[in-house]
Chain A
Amino acid sequence: MKRYGHWTLLLALLLAACTPGGWQEASPLAEAPALYPDYTDIVIPSNIAPLNFDILNPADACVAVLSGPDETLVLRGPEIRIPEKAWRRMTTGARGDAIQGTVYVRRDGKWLRLPDFRLDVSVDEIDPYVTYRLIEPGYSSYGSLVLRQRDLTSFRERDLYNNQLISRRVEQQCINCHSFQNYNPDTFQFHAREFAGGTVVVTGEHAKKVAFKTGDLISNAVYPSWHPTEPLIAYSVNKTAQGFFRTHRQRIEVYDSASDLILYDVEKDQVSYIVHDSLSFETFPYWSADGKTLYYASSYLPDWGADTSTNAFLNTDRIRYNIFSVDFDSRTRAFGTPRLVFDAVADSLSAVTPRPSPDGRFLLSGVGDYGSFHVWHQSGDIYITDLATGETRPMDEINTDRAESFKAWSSNSRWIVFTSRREDGSYTRLYFSYVDENGRGSKPFLLPQKDPQQNRRLFKSYNVPEFTTGEVAWSTKQLEDVLLSDPVQVEQIP
Chain B
Amino acid sequence: MLKSCRHILFSGLFGFLFLVIFKTGLLYHLEQYSLFCPKGDWLRVFFEQPGGLLALAGAFLTQFCHYPVLGAAVFALLMGLLTWLTEKAFGLEGRAVWLSTLPALFLLLFVTRLDYSIYLFRTYGLLYSQLLGFCFTAALLLLYRKCFLGKRGGPLFVAAAVLAGYPLFGAFALLAAVLMALLALREGKRGFAELAVALVAVAAVPWLCRDLPGIFPRIHRKYVYFAAFPYMEFLDNVICLVPLILAAAATVALCFLRKAGRIAVPAILGAALLAVAGGSCWDRGFHTVLAMERAVSEQDWDKVLKLARKEQDPNRAHVLYRDVALYQKGALTEQMFRYPDGDAPLHTRAQFPISYVCGVPVLYYCGMINPCDRLAMEYSSTFCKNIHYYKYQAKTALVSGEYELARKYLDMVDANWFEGAWVRRYRAFLDNPALMEDDPEFKRLRPLIQDTPTEFEASGPLQEMLYAYFANPEYVNESVFEWQVAFYLIQKDADRTLDCLFGRLERFPEAPIGTALAEGAALFASEAGDLDLMRALTAVLSDKASVLRRFSKFASDANKAGDLESKKTQEWFADHYKGSYWYYYMFVDINPNR
Given contacts A138-B381, A424-B408, are A159 and B218 in contact (CB under 8 A)? yes
With an 8 A cutoff between CB atoms, is B40 at the interface? yes
**CB-CB nearest in chain B for A169:** B235
Residues on A with C-beta less than 8 A from B402 are: 249, 424-426
Contact A165 B370 (CB under 8 A): no
Seed contacts A317-B454, A477-B210; 9 additional CB < 8 Å A-B pairs: A135-B381, A143-B122, A146-B217, A166-B220, A246-B452, A246-B456, A427-B405, A457-B42, A475-B214
Residues on A with C-beta less than 8 A from B459 are: 244
Residues on A with C-beta less than 8 A from B449 are: 247
Residues on B with C-beta less than 8 A from A168 are: 220, 222, 232, 235
Within 8 A of A (CB), among B375-390: 377-383, 385
Q: List 24 A-B contacts (CB under 8 A).
A: A138-B381, A139-B378, A141-B381, A142-B381, A143-B122, A146-B217, A158-B217, A159-B217, A162-B48, A165-B217, A165-B218, A166-B222, A244-B374, A245-B456, A246-B370, A246-B371, A246-B456, A247-B452, A249-B400, A424-B402, A424-B404, A426-B405, A451-B41, A454-B41
Partner of B39, one of A135, A136, A451: A451
With an 8 A cutoff between CB atoms, is A459 at the interface? yes
Chain A nearest CB, measured from B72 CB (Å): 30
Interface size class of B (residues with CB under 8 A): 35 or more
A451 to B41, CA, bound (A): 9
Contact A453 B405 (CB under 8 A): no
A187 to B397, CA, bound (A): 42
Within 8 A of A (CB), among B447-481: 449-457, 459, 469
Instruction: Identify the 9 closest CB pairs spanning chains A and B, nearest first.
Output: A243-B456, A136-B381, A475-B213, A159-B217, A164-B218, A424-B404, A143-B382, A138-B377, A141-B378
Residues 129-166 of chain A: 1 if any B CB is under 8 Å from the residue's CB, otherwise 0?
Answer: 00000011111111110100000000000110010111
Q: How many residues of A contact B (CB 8 A)?
A: 48
Using CB atoms and an 8 Å cutoff, list the residues of chain A in contact with chain B.
Answer: 135-144, 146, 158-159, 162, 164-166, 168-170, 243-249, 251-253, 317, 423-427, 450-451, 453-454, 456-459, 475-477, 480
Contact B453 A247 (CB under 8 A): yes
Contact A246 B455 (CB under 8 A): yes
With an 8 A cutoff between CB atoms, is B549 at the interface? no
Chain B nearest CB, measured from A252 CB (Å): 8
Residues on A with C-beta less than 8 A from B397 are: 426
With an 8 A cutoff between CB atoms, is B373 at the interface? yes
Given contacts A247-B450, A457-B42, A477-B210, are A137 and B377 in contact (CB under 8 A)? yes
A476 to B48, CA, bound (A): 12
Chain A nearest CB, measured from B43 CB (Å): 11
Residues on A with C-beta less than 8 A from B378 are: 138-141
With an 8 A cutoff between CB atoms, is B368 at the interface? yes
Given contacts A162-B218, A165-B221, A244-B370, are A136 and B377 in contact (CB under 8 A)? yes
A159 to B374, CA, bound (A): 27
Partner of A459, one of B48, B219, B385: B385
Residues on A with C-beta less than 8 A from B221 are: 165-166, 480
Residues on A with C-beta less than 8 A from B214 are: 158, 475
Chain A nearest CB, measured from B575 CB (Å): 43
A443 to B213, CA, bound (A): 38
Within 8 A of A (CB), among B191-235: 210-211, 213-214, 217-222, 232, 235
Residues on A with C-beta less than 8 A from B211 are: 477
Residues on B with C-beta less than 8 A from A450 are: 40
**CB-CB nearest in chain B for A249:** B400
A457 to B414, CA, bound (A): 12
Contact A424 B405 (CB under 8 A): yes
Chain B nearest CB, measured from A473 CB (Å): 10
Chain A nearest CB, measured from B224 CB (Å): 11
Partner of A456, one of B219, B381, B385, B411: B411
Contact A425 B404 (CB under 8 A): yes
A423 to B397, CA, bound (A): 14
Chain A nearest CB, measured from B277 CB (Å): 30
**CB-CB nearest in chain B for A421:** B405
Residues on B with C-beta less than 8 A from A246 are: 368, 370-371, 450, 452-453, 455-457, 469
With an 8 A cutoff between CB atoms, is B412 at the interface? yes
Residues 78-90 of chain B: 1 if any A CB is under 8 Å from the residue's CB, otherwise 0?
Answer: 0000000000000
A248 to B453, CA, bound (A): 5
With an 8 A cutoff between CB atoms, is B180 at the interface? no
With an 8 A cutoff between CB atoms, is B369 at the interface? yes
Contact B408 A456 (CB under 8 A): yes
Contact A457 B219 (CB under 8 A): no
With an 8 A cutoff between CB atoms, is B547 at the interface? no
With an 8 A cutoff between CB atoms, is B160 at the interface? no
A142 to B451, CA, bound (A): 30
**CB-CB nearest in chain A for B404:** A424
Contact A453 B39 (CB under 8 A): yes
Chain B nearest CB, measured from A214 CB (Å): 30
With an 8 A cutoff between CB atoms, is B494 at the interface? no
**CB-CB nearest in chain B for A480:** B221
Residues 399-410 of chain B: 1 if any A CB is under 8 Å from the residue's CB, otherwise 0?
Answer: 010101101100
Residues 221-255 of chain B: 1 if any A CB is under 8 Å from the residue's CB, otherwise 0?
Answer: 11000000000100110000000000000000000
Residues on B with C-beta less than 8 A from A243 are: 456
Contact B405 A425 (CB under 8 A): yes
A480 to B213, CA, bound (A): 12
Residues on B with C-beta less than 8 A from A244 are: 370-371, 374, 456-457, 459
**CB-CB nearest in chain A for B456:** A243
With an 8 A cutoff between CB atoms, is B185 at the interface? no
**CB-CB nearest in chain B for A142:** B381
Residues on A with C-beta less than 8 A from B222 are: 166, 168
Contact A139 B370 (CB under 8 A): no
With an 8 A cutoff between CB atoms, is B118 at the interface? no
With an 8 A cutoff between CB atoms, is B540 at the interface? no
Residues on A with C-beta less than 8 A from B344 are: none
A317 to B211, CA, bound (A): 49
Chain B nearest CB, measured from A465 CB (Å): 19
A414 to B95, CA, bound (A): 79
Partner of B213, one of A141, A166, A477: A477
With an 8 A cutoff between CB atoms, is B505 at the interface? no
Residues on A with C-beta less than 8 A from B381 are: 135-136, 138, 141-144
Residues on B with C-beta less than 8 A from A159 are: 217-218
Partner of A457, one of B41, B383, B457: B41
Residues on A with C-beta less than 8 A from B452 are: 246-247
Within 8 A of A (CB), among B410-467: 411-412, 449-457, 459
